[in-house]
Every structure is written in C-alpha cells, then in structure tokens.
Amino acid sequence: MSSDKRTLPNILITGTPGTGKSTLAEKLSKQLKFKWINVSELAKEKNYLSEIENDGCGILDEDKVVDELEETVGSTVGGVIVEYHGCDFFPERWFDMVIVLRTSTEQLYDRLSARGYAEKKLRDNVDCEIFQVLAEEARESYKADIIHELQSDTKIHLKDNLKTLKSMVKKWKEENS
C-alpha cells in the first residue's frame, strides 16, 4: 500500500536507547490522538524475545513483530507511532515519516547510568550513538526525504520536536487529503 492511501500518516521514531523515543512518542500520541506502539514493550508482552544475550537483552523475533503489527500499521487508517531502537526490519511502506532522535554523549551517558546499565552495555550504547548507527540504518532503509534527525538533549528540544512533528503531520494531511 502506498502512503497516499492512508488517511493519517504513520510515524517511526528510532534512535539509540535513552535518546527519548518513549518520552516523545507518548506525548505526541496523546496530542495527536495517534496510537503508540513501543516495540520493546510489545516484544516483552508477547514473548518475542528469544535467547538471552550476555548483556541481558533478548534477540527480537522481527518476523513475529511485523506479522503482529501488519494489521494495525499496514492498514489504511494510519495514525500510528511506532518506536524502536532498530528500523531496518519494518516494511518500508509502513511509514510516512522516520524520526531519528540524537542525543549528546554526556546526556546519553547520564540517562543510561540512571537506568542502571552495566558499564559494557552503557559503553556499547554510547558508541552506537557516536557512530550514528541508527541514523545510518534509517538511511539504508528509507527514502531520504522522509527521514528527519532531531536533537533530544533538553526539555526545550522535546518541546520543539513536538511542535515540529505536529506541523509535519498537519502538512502531510493537507498534501494527502
């Protein structure tokens, strides 16, 4: 299905753990009255995580996630916000906007320390942000004109990002009505 058949846009929010995906997705979904899907939470609930890796994270059964979400995210209704720290396994046709959240090393370090991440996991995630792993993955998986990198260090950034996204949704609706 092409995006112009949807009545509302679907938004993917991706980024390194701790960059603020859930914080942004929760507020945005409330303000826009969109459905919010946190893939990590879904995977835990539905038991889509197999084999525990050394860092305590399971390996996601990506096919099961896609099958589970196809009815909702692939429907003609749209208006879904999906968030996950990965983006290359979702069908490209699902999304009209792909948001990559970026956070400074210092902020990310503090946030992940506050989460109690062990030193190695913390370092791996900070490296993931420094090397722009998710931004690169997004560029390899989606068209450049739907990808938007947004800085997410401060509460002011959060406010600005909400404003930016709401105006992007407004524009999309005008262009696709």
Ligand X SMILES: Nc1ncnc2c1ncn2[C@@H]1O[C@H](COP(=O)(O)OP(=O)(O)O)[C@@H](O)[C@H]1O
d(CA 56, CA 175): 44
- Nearer to ligand X by Cβ, of 15 and 79: the residue is 15
Out of 57, 133, 158, 168, name the contact with ligand X by CB under 6 A: 158
Min CB(24)–ligand X separation in Å: 7
List the one residue out of 20, 34, 146 whose CA is nearest residue 81. 34
Contact assessment for residue 168 and residue 97, using Cβ atoms and an 8 Å cutoff: yes
Which residue of 31, 154, 164, 167 would you call a contact of ligand X, by CB under 6 A?
154
Is 20 annotated in a binding site? The answer is: yes
Give the number of other Cβ atoms within 10 Å of residue 117's Cβ.
Answer: 20
* Residue listed under structure tokens 């996204």: 165
From the CB of 15, what's the least distance to ligand X, in Å?
Answer: 6
Q: How many residues bind ligand X (CB under 6 A)?
A: 14
Q: How far is the CB of 77 from ligand X (least distance, A)?
A: 25
Q: How far apart are the first and last CA of the chain?
A: 16
Is 29 annotated in a binding site? The answer is no
- Which residue in the block uniquely carries the two structure tokens 């979702």? 90
> Which residues of this chain interact with ligand X, rule CB under 6 A?
15, 17-23, 111, 152, 154-155, 157-158
